Amino acid sequence: MTDKQWYSLLAVLRGECSGNVSVGFIIDCPWLPKWYGISLVDYFSNDELWLRANLKAINTFPDVWFLPGFWSEYGMCTEPSAFGAKCTFWKEEFPYADRVILRPEEIDNLILPDPAVSGLLPFMLNRLIINRENIEATGHKIRFSVSRGPLNIASFLMGATEFMMAVVMEPERIHRLMRIVTDFLKRWHRIQREAFSSIDGTMMLDDIVGFLSEEDFLTFGFPYIKEIYDEAKTTVNFFHNDADFRASVKHYPAMGVNLYNPGIYMTINEIKDITENKLTLLGGIPPRDVLAAGTPDKIARTTGELLAGLNTHSRFILSCAGGMPPDVSTENLNALIKEAGRFTY
């Protein structure tokens, strides 16, 4: 994000209305490589192509806030690789991390890895470091440290089904696992902040939150996620969960979140009501059925209806209800951006 974009984001988080509808998107490997015209393997393995793809996005849509911006990642293999997960990379399919923990008892022997030297994380960080000059030459800076959330990583280490069963059957071991993963993430975010003084945002993505009951979320999710945000002490605490968030969303402000990217399970007005408008929401447009599969006319109509129907215009950034899905065209994005430009607050 540029300085202007960053300070505009901070103003939105404070509840200020600038008169214009802010537009932002989470973009990463599900969308960016194909939109740019390269394979996933090229995007992951070639730093120059990764940079060019991100540069094309910011140049094609200069008024859009891309979050986190120049996201260095290896899909869902990023953090599990530090724990020794076997990672499979196909040319055109999303990478896959194999389970590390086959039985709950194996949590007892799990060792906390050093994110500075483990798995793919050094390569992820070094990609940003070696491209820092090129990124900053465009007026953009690295603003966020980024990771998946602790529940998400734990579910990859165990397998989602196995993790959910262990939450019920082996709660003490799950607490031990969450302790290890949380300590790992606190250090990983600290390493990113130390590498880039421009970082003043912490971004975590954790869809497993959406699979827990409210009680289990408050037991196994809330305290650990809050601990990571609390230690970071960043101005922007950004959270993504586009799975079913209805049981947990009212607790996000107390968890430290002030910027949230929700899915489609509640309307923007409903989320604002239940959170007392304490969260800045990034979302609103169904990603698959509208933004990816819809015509430009449908996208413009859906966008117009959403913006006209908001009960309050403060703390809102127009986006899709989740990360940018595959196959969203430039034409469709331009239809959304153009319609947003017709509204002023």
CATH code of the domain in which 202 resides: 3.20.20.210
* Residue 146 forms part of a structural domain: yes
Average pLDDT for 167-173? 98
* Residue 305 forms part of a structural domain: no
> Which residue range forms the structural domain that includes residue 139?
3-280
Beta-sheet pairing, 201-205 with 144-148 = parallel
pLDDT at 345 over 90: no
Q: Rg of the chain over CA atoms, in angstroms?
A: 19
Q: Which pLDDT belongs to residue 81?
A: 98
Q: How far apart are CA 189 and CA 147, in angstroms?
A: 8
Q: Note the pLDDT tens digit of each residue in 41-89.
A: 999 999 999 999 999 999 999 999 999 999 999 999 999 999 999 999 9
pLDDT at 306 over 90: yes
* Residue 29 forms part of a structural domain: yes
Q: Which residues contact 46 (CB under 8 A, 6 or more apart)?
A: none
* Residue 325 forms part of a structural domain: no
* Residue 13 forms part of a structural domain: yes
Helix or strand (DSSP H, E) at 296: helix 296-308
Phi, psi of 4 (to 5 degrees): -60, -45
Helix or strand (DSSP H, E) at 167: helix 160-169
Q: How far apart are CA 213 and CA 215, in angstroms?
A: 5
Closest C-alpha among 337, 345, 269 to residue 300: 337
Q: Note the pLDDT tens digit of each residue in 109-136.
A: 999 999 999 999 999 999 999 999 999 9
* Residue 68 forms part of a structural domain: yes
- The two structure tokens encoding residue 257: 């979140």
Count: domains in the chain: 1
Closest C-alpha among 226, 146, 224, 157 to residue 191: 146
| Alpha helix (H) residue ranges in the chain | 3-13, 32-36, 40-45, 47-60, 121-130, 132-137, 150-158, 160-169, 171-195, 214-216, 222-232, 252-255, 268-274, 296-308, 330-340
* Residue 295 forms part of a structural domain: no
Q: Note the pLDDT tens digit of each residue in 236-272.
A: 999 999 999 999 999 999 999 999 999 999 999 999 9
Q: How far apart are CA 167 and CA 165, in angstroms?
A: 5
Q: Are 307 and 269 in contact (CB under 8 A)?
A: no
pLDDT at 284 over 90: yes
Q: Which pLDDT belongs to residue 17?
A: 85
* Residue 40 forms part of a structural domain: yes
